[in-house]
A and B are shown apart, each in its own frame.
Chain A
Amino acid sequence: MIPAEYYLYLGSGLFTIGVIGVLTRRNVLIILMSIELILNAVNINLIALSQYFHAVDGQVFAIFVITDAAAEAAVGLGLIIALFRNKETVNADEIDLLKW
Chain B
Amino acid sequence: MLELTTFILLSIVTLISAILVITRRNAVHSVIWLIVTLFGVGGIYLLQHAEFVFAVQIILYVGGIMVLFLFVVMLVNLDVALKQARFARQWPVALVTAVLLLAQLAYVLYNHGRGLNLPPRPLVAATAGNTQAIGMALYQNYMLPVEIASVLLLVAMIGAVLMAKRKLE
Contacts and interface: CB of A to CB of B under 8 A. Distances in A.
Main secondary structure on chain A at its contact with chain B?
Answer: helix
Contact of A47 (B4, B53, B65, B76): B53
B77 to A, nearest CB: 8
A73 B65 contact: yes
Interface residues of A, number: 70
A70 B156 contact: yes
A98 interface: no
| Interface size classification for chain B | 35 or more
A97 interface: no
Contacts, number: 244
A13 B163 CA distance: 34
Interface-centre pick from A2, A4, A27, A50 (highest chain B CB count, 10 A): A27
Given A30-B21, A64-B149, A70 B64 contact: yes
A52 B120 CA distance: 10
Contact of A25 (B87, B122, B153): B87
Given A59-B50, A81-B163, 12 more contacts: A4-B113, A17-B15, A23-B94, A26-B88, A29-B27, A50-B50, A50-B123, A54-B123, A56-B134, A63-B53, A63-B56, A90-B81
